[in-house]
Structure 1
């Protein structure tokens, strides 16, 4: 924004001397222009500033030139001051007046004086000559309103911009998207994001925002398609993006895909939360061996997950392995349940004596219908065998 194209084009355009200028001023202006063309802008400024000007029109014209030269010399505050004085004189011809107003507006925009810039932009937008690019003017208006967080005015300006500029481009679309998101116009933001993805298919933020809006609109399947397509196309999705994709797979009844996504994450075998999610998804997918393997890894990081491993081993008929894990378990408030799990394992291993021992232990810790039923049933079996 510091070297706006409009201003630069104006800087190097030859000054057309007005017939209204006095001979003295016209001569000085020509000298100043020659110095400027020789890259002696500071000297041109000194020459114009030291002029003895008595005519109001001459002063307005010279102020306009000084505004240009101060900008080129890196002194925007002085540039704004001189251009403002030139405009407010009310003496500039219409052609000079419009170009000066536009130049001042662009400089004000570049200096973050957005409200003041709009003070000039909006009147200029009322009647745009064919020689001027209307799309550039409306884009500037959108930029200023964006900085002022005037979101509806941003959309209005972009709408005007799109009427005269049919080709899709990133900058106006970005402004439009920002305003739509701020106004929570999520449905309208979807085609905007699709256009941005078409223009910048490797920019991860567009894919992420599209998936986020789809989730907000409870379109989880579309969110999955968005993130999965981004992954296939080699977009640099973050670890959080991939976790979101995995969670979406699980929510939509595809736990195996969820587990595979979590297995592909960085440090998937060393971060406890990732291991727990993965093991849970493998269980949901009824991939018992993979779930057991993953729970084992989780136990190595935190022994409290030995219970999940034990019960799954028991479920899958690995009774001795289950007992090995259950013997290591010490969970406050869960000892009775642990003893009942041992009862089941010993029963399956046809060791009635130890099954009865642990059933009684469970009943002593917490007498329940389950513990009483086991004791009665196991005693009956033992009596039958004897």
Structure 2
């Protein structure tokens, strides 16, 4: 035999002619409240036997039989019709047949004749099922009717469901107002209510207000690490890069950055805020672990971090590694230039020749860099060859010609034939 729920207990009292015991909240409603003025009554004698028999079947776990008995009841009285409809609505809801449940519950609610407690409970159930069935606009209307009837204007859960309904209808201002009401009347912080506010502010493009909500949430729900990530992302939306970096860094230390996008974003912000070496080490760590994919774009990004950090040799090697993915001449040029700056002239020349072989946007630039590298090796004849080629390119001609004069003087002093 199934355990009798609160609704079933209320039905049983109604059938026996007893008074329905109100909840503490209902007892608080006094004076002119409609629920207090609605007298309780029992079903008529013609329907009572069917109702009692149905309820007995329900108690014994025979839900289909309980429904079948009620469908045979054929009540004539308006109250009896509403009462039977209410029972059928509840039974069909328990079966999961929500469309049918709504049909009968609406009949019971719209009849507006049930006793105070029964009518209030039925309106609330009807509105709750409407929300579950995504009939949000109608649900909101019945929640407010329920409030008006019961005088329960401080029910956090009802305001929560109204806020959800407004959110689903994209009525952001109303969702915000009712979420605030729900927060006001809640016994303890409800994360879902703050998420409703966050969604509303985001869709209204009021990002600073959204940040205020998240700053409250991280204090109220410190165990939820994802909130710190959300807060960092909203700082980015308002271009508050300093706070974004600090918050991402905190989330990283909490091990809350789990996606590749977030693991890449923190180093980018660090580099932007003046700590490129730290950015490079974090990026490198997670590339080695596989959390950041080792592809050309990411290897090039890592090279840029080391480049910003003045780790030229490391950056040069990484530019070369990035170039190897698709034989990128311009990337080999970057490698060669940095190696030359580190006075690694022979590796620089090798990289620069790879750039020429691969093809670059500006060959004169590569020729000029090769000329400089050969000067570094004091191989003036080779340097002269590449500087002459660079002199034929409009972008490098002026600098190349000045070096050609320099090389001619060096050749004369050292008795070298160019």
TM over 0.5: yes
* 2:313 maps to 1:285: no
Alignment-derived partner of residue 329 in structure 1: 355
1:35 partnered with 2:57: yes
Q: Indicate the residue corresponding to 2:45 in structure 1.
A: 23
Residue pair 1:193, 1:210 contacting (<8 A) in 2 also: yes
| From 160, 167, 171, the counterpart of 2:188 | 167
Matched, 1:361 2:389: yes
> Counterparts in 2 of 1:242-257, with a 5 A limit?
242-257=263-278
Report the more deviating stretch, 171-180 or 257-266.
257-266
- Is 1:316 equivalent to 2:342 in the alignment? yes
The alpha-carbon deviation at position 365 of structure 1 amounts to: 5.6
How many Å separate the matches in 2 of 1:163 and 1:170?
13
1:149 corresponding residue in structure 2: 170
The answer to which of 143-152 and 15-24 deviates more is 15-24
Greater shift in the superposed pair: 343-352 or 230-239: 343-352
Task: Classify 1:363/1:16 alpha carbon distance in 2 versus 1 (closer, same or farther; 3 Å).
Answer: same
- The Cα of 1:54 is off from its aligned counterpart by 2.7
| Alignment partners' CA distance in 1, 2:293 and 2:100 | 63
* Number of residues of Structure 1 aligned to a counterpart in Structure 2: 378
Q: 1:52: Cα distance to partner?
A: 4.1
The aligned residue for residue 84 of structure 2 is 62
| CA apart distance, 1:315 | 0.8
Q: TM-score, normalised by structure 1?
A: 0.89
How far, CA to CA, are the matches of 1:141 and 1:123 in structure 2? Answer: 12
Match of 2:234 in 1: 213
1:339 aligns to 2:336 (yes or no): no
1:269–1:194 CA distance, 2 compared to 1 (3 A): closer
Contact 1:168–1:195 at 8 Å: present in 2 too?
Answer: no
Q: Does the 8 Å contact 2:229/2:256 carry over to 1?
A: no
Distance change >3 Å, CA 135–CA 60, structure 1 → 2: same
TM-score by length of 2: 0.83
Q: Distance in 1 between matches of 2:88 and 2:399?
A: 96
Q: CA RMSD in A?
A: 2.5
Question: 2:36 maps to what in 1?
Answer: none
Measure how far apart 1:285 and its partner are.
1.0
**What is the CA-CA distance between 1:329 and the residue it aligns to?**
2.9
Whole-Å Cα distance in 2 between the matches of residues 260 and 239 of structure 1? 15
- Alignment partner of 1:297: what SS? helix
Aligned partners of 1:202 and 1:236 also within 8 Å: no
- Displacement after TM superposition at 1:220 (Å): 0.8
Shift of 1:165: 1.0
- Say whether 1:376 aligns with 2:402: no
**SS of the residue 1:15 aligns to:** helix
Separation in 2, partners of 1:319, 1:280: 21
3-state SS of 1:263 partner = helix
- Cα distance between partner residues in 2 of 1:91 and 1:126: 16
Give the deviation of 1:214 after TM superposition. Answer: 0.3
Shift in CA distance, 275/40, structure 1 to aligned 2, threshold 3 Å = same
Matched, 1:110 2:139: no
* 3-state DSSP of counterpart to 1:179: helix
